[in-house]
Amino acid sequence: MLKPNFIFKCITDISSEFLHNNNIKGLLLDVDNTMSVAHGNKTLRSGLAEWLSDMKENGIELIVLSNAKTVRARRFGDSVRLSVVGLAAKPLPFGYLKAVKALKLKRREVAIVGDQIFTDVLGGKLAGVKTLLVTDITREEAFSFRVRRKIEDFLLKRWKYER
Ligand SMILES: [Mg+2]
């Protein structure tokens, strides 16, 4: 229930060729630590703008799916010119289903790209979409985050994966 379908170091390592080969036509994109460099930081990962254009040119449908408040999520979406489902309450499946509907695709044709096993991946499983985990993160200070990251590290190790 927690193991992602695929694990990548960084979002920009996901190629359109890989998506075509796996019949993935649309992506639900997490913001913090996935498209941005850290939690609550709006700085984009290097190469992200080029990656987004490449995806669009190759016919991949994109939408932002974030637990951030709608205003912040939308501001981020505007900065990368993507539509947004904010206040998604991941890992609950409702936001995922809304985003899949907005892309006009089937659930099995869509994948979530996110950095958190207990929100992005778990929610993706509950919603019935494919799950792509990215592992290159900036570690958070907050205690609750530190605990979750420790558990994630443990799971990644079990799956024979290093951050
Ligand atoms: Mg995140």
Domain boundaries along the sequence of the chain: 6-138
CA of 122 to the centre of ligand 1 (A): 13
Residue list, CB under 5 A from ion ligand 1: 30, 32-33, 115
List, run by run, the mean pLDDT of 10-residue segments along the chain (163 residues).
96 98 98 96 95 98 97 96 97 98 98 98 98 96 95 96 89
6-138: CATH class: alpha beta
Q: From CA 149, how far away is CA 63, in angstroms rounded?
A: 25
Please check whether residue 138 is in contact with residue 37, taking contact to mean a CB–CB distance below 8 angstroms: yes
Nearest to 73 by CA among 110, 112, 29: 29
According to DSSP, the β-strands at 36-38 and 41-44 are antiparallel
Q: What is the pLDDT of residue 1?
A: 85
Q: What is the pLDDT of residue 108?
A: 97
Q: What is the pLDDT of residue 162?
A: 86
CA of 4 to the centre of ligand 1 (A): 15
Q: What is the pLDDT of residue 64?
A: 98
Q: What is the pLDDT of residue 148?
A: 96
The residue assigned the tokens 């443990």 is 154
Is residue 121 classed exposed, middle or buried when 0-12, 13-18 and 19+ CB atoms within 10 A define those classes? buried
CA of 65 to the centre of ligand 1 (A): 10
The residue assigned the tokens 């408040």 is 69
CA of 137 to the centre of ligand 1 (A): 9
